[in-house]
Structure formats: structure tokens, C-alpha cells
């Protein structure tokens, strides 16, 4: 089951990458750009076939992909016939070589099928097509997850009753100890709490909040075998983090937990999956986007935290970044039932794996929008800047400027690529020596 979970996530990542590239390929062909290659993966080619002018194939390392379009970089703007001195600057040489390589791909008759000649809006559609495909995948999977399987919730139906006061629910040896308030009050497994001190509750967070504010004694109305019972519990007071009616921990102005004296009942809720209405999907996807964007924005600090955990004694942040190795380990834990109540059955495990794939697609969507080459966002930013320049020139009745020279940003692109390789190496090392555990 562990290996099956890893296989499912690997296939899911490969399919997500393949569809990402389809998001670039389809509009590129639609707008007449000559596309010579569609490849999933990097490294040596494992398999390929040619259909028309495009070679389709798989490469050895399925952790990325690309669509090769001719004329990605425009030629250098004319210097009015003036001679330019040769330069030994390696960055300038790199840029000129990239321009020349881009022009070498243009064969006679294809001069009007190059990428840089497209209108700005068409270039935006092509480059945004990949990330948007990942957003569509994430949305579809989230929709299925919410409406078909449901999300895990804690209900006010009692799953277990603690035997001892102020101890772990699993502690059955109460020698010399008082019984738990729930046991002393007569709670039984299967009781559904419907009111606390006369206040109706329908969720476990509402129940927890009501118990928190009940003081040392609380009156519970429970539904048992189709009839209502009234139970009075003398709660054990102890120092615990305070919660809101929504079940979230209360935080002070500095973001720290707010602690207080709260009542301990000794009854644990039932965990179950409840389907949600389709109208909840936009808010859920929006929250996924915000959480993912927050991780991307704070990525430098999070990488510092990962480094300190990998080479020190700090714990890994379960909401921090992971490499494909870490994702594979989590998928294996899920498939082998390592998340307890979240993965009681094989079906539940599959749905959790699909939720992981949805999260990965949201990460691909957000990360690829970073406005730096070689990411899609870098090409999008270049096209937008060209659109701004052309609009400004039109408003001032001036000739339209030429294409934005994206090749000039290649040194930045190489720096970004090297940084991404370093980040990947760090995350892989951390996921091996100190992996994130979601159990």
C-alpha cells in the first residue's frame, strides 16, 4: 500500500505536468505558432513520436516539461546601421547566443509563425494556459472531494468516554483516580449532544466553545436511541488554549495562543466525512489559493526554517514546503493508513491522495505565476509590459515600440534556475533526514 500511494502521486504529478503543457500547446497551435516539441520530463528521451511538425515524447525524469515554440526571443532592435563593438561580457554573449539560437529555429516560410510576433493578448493566453490548466485540475478535484466524498468534520456524537478524570481517554486504569465527568454524568458511546446549558449545538466546535464557557458544571441535552436525555456533569477545570465558536484557537495581538481555565468533560467526538454543497467550492478554492500564495511569498524564510530543521534540532513545519520526495513519503503514509481516522478505508485514502494532487496543482498554478524567467510568469510579465508600452505609445500618437527584449532577462533566468536547483536539493535532503509527518 505504501508503494501504491507513491505510485499514485507520481502518476498524478506526471499527468498534472502533461496537462500543464497541453495548456500551452493547444493555444499555441490555435494561434499558428510553430511548435516543434511537446515533452514531459527532462533528461534523456525515453519515448517519442512525431505527429505533423511536432515531436511528442517522454523523458527520463518526469518532474517537469516544456513546449518548444519557435521565435521565443525577438531579434535585437536595429541600431540604425551603427557598428557595435564586440564585447567580452559573458552575460551579453549569453544573451546574443540565445537570440541567435532562437532565430536559427526559424526556417524559410515560418517567419510569421514565431512567438514574439503574436499580439500581446495571444501571448498572454499561451503562457497563462499552463498555470490555468493546473487551476482547473485543482478546482475539479476539489469539487469532487467536497461534493462526492465530503470533508472530515468532528460531530457532537460521542465516540468514546474517558474512564478517568483529567487523563487520556485511552486510560482505562482508574485505580485511585476519580471517574471522568462524562462517565460520572452517565454519557454513553453514541450519544449525540444537542444542547449545552440550554444552548443548541450542531457541531463539535460549537460544543467545545459551550463547554469552555460553562464553568464548573454543565447541563447537557443528548439524543439517545431516538429520545432526549438530560445529563449534568461536574467539569474538571484545567489550563487549555481557548477556542472560538468556529473551533479556531484564539490568538492575541502578537499571534500567540490565549490560555484560560476551561472545563474537561472526557468525551471525544466522532470523525466523519460530510458532503458539502457545490456553492462551497469557490470559497474553498479561494482559501487554497490564499494559503498557497502565503507559502510562496514567505518561501525564503520558510527555506531558512527548513535548513535549520535539516541541520539542527528544530522540527519541520507541517505546512512548510516539501520536495517530491517528501510528497511521496506523505502519499505512502496515507496509502498505508498512517493518518489514523482520516484514512480508515481504502476509499478514504484514495480521496486524501487526490486532495494532495489538488494541492500540488494549486502550488504549480501559484508558483508559475511568479514574474521571473524561466517561469511562465516571466513571459506573462514581459507581454504585459509590452502591452503597457504599446498602449502608452498609442495614447501619445507615437509609433508602436518593438517587442520587449525578454532575452535581456536571461541572466536573471539562469540565477532563478540555479536557485530552484538549490532549493530542490535542500528540500530533498530535509525530506530524507527529517521528513514531515502528518500523522
Q: Which residues are catalytic?
A: 21
CB 109 within 8 A of CB 70: no
Largest CA distance in the chain: 98
CB 396 within 8 A of CB 377: no
Q: How far apart are CA 309 and CA 315, in angstroms?
A: 6
CB 60 within 8 A of CB 169: no
Angle formed at CA 242 by CA 240 and CA 245, multiple of 5 degrees: 140
Residue 227, C-alpha cell as written in the block: 429520545
Phi, psi of 65 (to 5 degrees): 180, 175
Helix, strand counts (H, E) of the chain: 11, 10
Element (H, E) at 398: none
CB 151 within 8 A of CB 276: yes
Phi, psi of 327 (to 5 degrees): -60, -40
Q: How far apart are CA 426 and CA 172, in angstroms?
A: 45
Q: Which of 82, 79, 40, 87 has its CA nearest to residue 59?
A: 40
Q: How far apart are CA 302 and CA 317, in angstroms?
A: 9
Q: How far apart are CA 8 and CA 69, in angstroms?
A: 31
Backbone Cα Rg of the chain: 29
Amino acid at each position: 500500500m505504501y508503494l501504491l500511494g507513491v505510485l499514485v502521486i507520481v502518476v498524478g504529478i506526471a499527468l498534472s505536468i502533461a496537462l500543464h503543457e497541453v495548456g500551452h500547446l493547444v493555444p499555441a497551435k490555435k494561434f499558428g505558432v510553430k511548435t516543434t516539441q511537446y515533452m514531459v520530463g527532462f533528461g534523456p528521451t525515453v519515448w517519442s513520436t512525431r505527429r505533423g511538425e511536432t515531436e511528442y515524447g517522454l523523458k527520463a525524469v518526469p518532474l517537469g516539461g516544456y513546449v518548444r515554440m519557435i521565435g521565443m526571443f525577438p531579434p535585437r532592435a536595429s541600431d540604425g546601421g551603427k557598428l557595435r563593438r564586440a564585447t567580452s561580457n559573458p552575460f551579453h554573449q549569453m544573451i546574443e547566443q540565445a537570440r541567435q539560437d532562437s532565430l536559427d529555429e526559424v526556417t524559410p516560410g515560418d517567419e510569421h509563425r514565431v512567438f514574439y510576433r503574436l499580439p500581446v493578448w495571444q501571448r498572454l493566453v499561451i503562457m497563462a494556459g499552463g498555470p490555468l490548466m493546473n487551476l482547473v485540475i485543482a478546482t475539479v478535484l476539489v469539487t469532487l472531494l467536497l461534493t462526492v466524498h465530503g470533508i472530515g468534520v468532528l460531530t457532537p456524537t460521542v465516540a468514546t468516554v474517558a474512564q478517568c478524570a483529567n487523563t487520556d481517554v485511552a486510560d482505562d486504569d482508574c485505580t485511585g483516580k476519580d471517574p471522568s465527568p462524562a462517565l460520572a454524568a452517565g454519557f454513553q458511546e453514541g450519544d449525540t449532544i444537542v444542547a449545552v446549558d440550554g444552548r443548541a449545538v450542531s457541531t463539535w466546535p460549537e460544543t467545545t466553545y459551550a463547554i469552555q464557557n460553562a464553568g464548573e458544571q454543565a447541563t447537557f441535552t443528548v439524543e439517545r436511541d431516538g429520545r432526549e436525555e438530560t445529563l449534568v456533569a461536574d467539569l474538571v477545570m484545567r489550563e487549555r488554549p481557548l477556542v472560538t465558536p468556529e473551533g479556531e484557537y484564539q490568538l492575541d495581538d502578537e499571534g500567540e495562543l490565549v490560555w484560560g481555565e476551561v472545563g474537561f468533560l472526557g468525551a471525544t467526538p466522532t470523525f466523519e466525512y460530510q458532503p458539502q454543497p457545490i456553492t462551497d467550492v469557490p470559497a474553498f478554492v479561494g482559501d487554497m489559493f490564499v494559503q498557497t500564495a502565503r507559502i510562496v511569498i514567505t518561501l525564503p524564510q520558510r527555506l531558512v526554517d527548513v535548513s535549520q530543521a535539516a541541520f539542527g534540532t528544530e522540527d519541520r513545519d507541517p505546512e512548510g514546503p516539501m520536495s517530491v520526495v517528501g510528497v511521496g513519503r506523505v502519499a505512502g503514509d496515507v496509502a498505508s493508513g498512517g493518518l489514523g481516522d482520516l484514512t480508515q478505508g481504502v476509499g478514504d485514502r484514495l480521496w486524501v491522495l487526490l486532495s494532495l494532487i489538488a494541492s500540488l496543482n494549486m502550488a504549480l498554478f501559484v508558483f508559475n505565476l511568479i514574474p521571473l524567467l524561466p517561469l511562465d510568469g516571466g513571459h506573462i510579465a514581459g507581454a504585459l509590459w509590452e502591452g503597457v508600452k504599446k498602449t502608452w505609445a498609442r495614447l501619445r500618437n507615437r509609433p508602436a515600440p518593438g517587442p520587449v527584449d525578454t532575452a535581456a532577462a536571461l541572466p536573471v533566468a539562469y540565477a532563478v534556475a540555479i536557485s530552484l536547483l538549490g532549493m530542490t536539493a535542500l528540500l530533498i535532503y530535509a525530506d530524507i533526514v527529517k521528513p514531515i509527518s502528518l500523522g
